[in-house]
Structure formats: C-alpha cells, structure tokens
Amino acid sequence: MYNLLFVVRGYCTTTLTLLNGRDGGNPIGEKVQGQPYRDASYEEILHMVHDTGIGVDGAGGMAGALPAYQQEIRSAQKNGLSKDLWGRGADNKGWIKELTKENSLSQEYLASVVDGYYGLWGAWTSGKGGMWDIYIAKTREDMKSKDPMGYALMGKFLHPYITYNAQISASLNGNFSLKYDANKPYTNHSRYLKDVTLLGTNNNSVTVNELDNNITGNSGINTVIFSGNSNEYAISMTDGKIIVSDLAKCQANAKCHRDGTNTLINVEKLQFVDKTLPVSKKNSNVFWLLFYFKQSTRGKINEKNNANCNDNFIIRTICL
C-alpha cells in the first residue's frame, strides 16, 4: 500500500511513483494520474531506451547499439505472438495490426516482459496473466516456464534487482517489506529492491530480503527485521555503517544467504527471531555496537579505547 518515490537525475529531475498495487485509487493525490496496479513509467522509459539505445530492426527502425540483441528480442516476440503468449485476446487483434504497421511489436512485447520480470503485475487479481492479460506470464516465475525466450532476454540486459535508491514515503507508519509476502501486494515489486531510504519522522521498520540491502533510516526510531536468530549473523561497524551478514549455511532444500549482507545507516534496532538488539548513538564520537560471540563471557560488557581515534571514541561490545 505504500508509495515508492525515486528520482531520475539527469538534465531534469523527474519523480516517478510505484502505485499501491491494488484497487483504491491514486495513493498520492490528484497530481499524478496512473493505473493502480503498476508503475507505467517503467514501460515508457524502456521504450525510450529501446528505440534510441538498443535499437529497433525492420522498416522505420533505428540502428541502435545492440543489433544482435534486437534480433533476439524480435525472435522472442515472434515466438510469443505465434504461440499466443503475447498479444492475446480477440479484443487485441486490431491493436496488433496497428503495432505491425508502425513496427512497434517488439517494443510492446519487451515492455510486457519487463513488467512481469520486476513484479509489476503480481498484485493484479483480475486476470491470470500480465499487462491486462495481454501477456501470459504475470510474474518472473511464470516467465521461466511460460515464456522462456522472453525470460532469457532479461539477464542479458537488465539487473535481476532494481538498482535505484527507493525513497519510502514519509506517510509510512509501520513496516515496509523487501521480502515477498502474499498478504502485502506491493511486495510483488518491492522484493526486487535492495537500496531504500525511509523518509519522514515516523518510527518504522524494514524487513530485508535475500539481496545485499542498503537501508537508510529516517529521523525516527528505525528497526530492521531479519529472518533468523541473532547467533546466525555477523554484526560489525565500518565508517559509521552497521553491517549485518547472514551466516546461515546451505542445507538440503534451503536457500543460501536468506538475508544477504545488509548495510545500515541511521538504524536503531536489529530485530531477529529470538531477540531485538538496540543500536544507539550517544554522540558523534561514541557508538554502541552489539555483536554475538560464541564464547563463555556472554553477558559481560567489554570496553576499550580505540587507539585510532581520540580518547572519547569508545567501542562497547556486548557479548550476548
């Protein structure tokens, strides 16, 4: 339900929005008009990159920088159209004829694939496919089996995760999850984020996913939530940033690195399954670090001066 706001920096500053993932109207007011299921800016920016960067083969196309990739897109598009994987439905036949005439078939096909790849249609419940059921696959997992040629295109040009810093709206008052949760429609998309910043002053939490997340808190009390017990993580501090790494070993039928390595700024609490550890700053030179050590001195507080800093810089280690 929460908005993700991010900025594209270049010759102009543009604000794009991830809508709330289900019916209910525009979540950020009348200034932005959009569909309640997905962020259409992905499609429009992709068209610009496709036309002027990758290039488009055929009549009226543009040479572009990746002619071989153009051919792969075209092959996947033809396969999709011939096998009724894309351009589906009798109501779309006229649209397909129009796209054929203007040589836009490959652009529109690729947009459908990218939308599915980043989970933009996962929250849509009115159809089984993506892009208003024009495309057979709704999610990344769907694509692997239903349109493997389309899925293969993604890793050759796009990251498996979203690379921009997503600024989470100051209106958030609670939890924002980067981990997929079927009860939270927006996580169909947020599961592919790895770099987020909380805005505002509310006391909020962020649930990490399996990626190497970068999480920056706001001016409130911020908590980061992990999947395992505290003794399954390594916790350290580097340049004022808290680094929390999942140490869980691979087991049969289990995914490695369930929480990845997380870099945290302005975060006050680390919430594990077994306990919540506070991390506080007393002033600019004094930090409290909390580590888990496999040793008999649990419960003992060790304090020492850091020789590399002034005498006011103290690292306090609590052995749990």
6-42 pLDDT tens trace: 333 333 344 444 444 333 344 443 444 444 556 778 8
User: Is residue 66 domain-resident?
Assistant: yes
Q: Which amino acid is at 297?
A: T
Residue 267 burial (CB count, 10 A): 22
Place of tokens 């790849």: 117
Alpha-helical (H) ranges within the chain are: 41-49, 67-82, 93-102, 105-117, 140-146, 148-154, 187-190
**Among 154, 186, 206, which residue terminates a domain?**
154
What confidence score (pLDDT) does residue 314 get?
A: 30
SS3 272: coil
Q: Which residues of 275-296 are buried (b: 16+ CB within 10 A; e: fewer)?
A: eebebeeeeeeebbebbbeeee
C-beta separation of 249 from 231 below 8 A: no
Residue 142 sits in the same domain as residue 209: no
Final residue belonging to a domain, choices 154, 179, 213:
154
Question: How many domains is the chain built from?
Answer: 2
What pLDDT score was predicted for residue 34? 43
d(CA 153, CA 148) in angstroms, rounded, equals 9
Q: Note whether 50 and 150 are same-domain residues.
A: yes
One domain, residues 99 and 46 = yes
| Paired residues of 238 in beta bridges | 241
- In terms of domains, do 177 and 265 share one? yes
Residue 77 domain boundaries: 37-154
* Domain identity same for 114 and 190: no
Spans of the chain, pLDDT less than 70: 1-38, 249-257, 280-320
- The pair of structure tokens assigned to 136 is 């057979």
Neighbours of 121 (CB within 10 A): 25
Residue 144 shares a structural domain with residue 185: no
What pLDDT does 12 receive?
38
Considering 109, 124, 154, which residue would you say is the last residue of a domain?
A: 154
| pLDDT (0 to 100) of residue 249 | 67
From residue 75, alpha-carbon distances to 110, 150, 212 in Å are 11, 9, 34
Residues 200, 224: one domain?
Answer: yes
* CA 279 to chain centroid: 25
Look at residue 180 in the predicted model and tell me its pLDDT: 94
Q: Confirm whether 208 is domain-assigned.
A: yes
Do 118 and 193 lie in one domain? The reply is: no
In 215-253, which positions are buried (b, 16+ CB within 10 angstroms) versus exposed (e)? bbbbebbbbbbbbeebebbebebeeeebebbbebeeeee
Question: Residue 6: inside a domain, yes or no?
Answer: no
265 and 200 within one domain = yes
Return the C-alpha torsion angle 60, 66, 67, 72, nearest 10.
Answer: -100
Say if 293 falls within a structural domain: no
Per-residue pLDDT, 281: 53
Q: How far apart are CA 216 and CA 263, in angstroms?
A: 8
Sheet holding 214-216, edge to edge: 13-18, 4-9, 166-168, 195-198, 214-216, 261-265, 241-246, 233-238
Task: Please indicate, yes or no, whether residues 87 and 125 belong to a single structural domain of this protein.
Answer: yes
Query: Quick check: is 199 in a domain?
Result: yes
Q: Same domain for 55 and 147?
A: yes
Q: 138 vs 58, 98, 189, CA distance in Å?
A: 29, 24, 12
Q: Clarify whether residues 114 and 193 are in a common domain.
A: no
5 within a domain of the structure (yes/no): no
Q: Terminus-to-terminus CA distance in the chain, angstroms? A: 37
Q: Is residue 149 part of a domain?
A: yes
pLDDT tens-digit map of 268-309: 999 999 999 998 554 333 344 443 333 323 333 333 333 333
In a domain, 318, yes or no: no
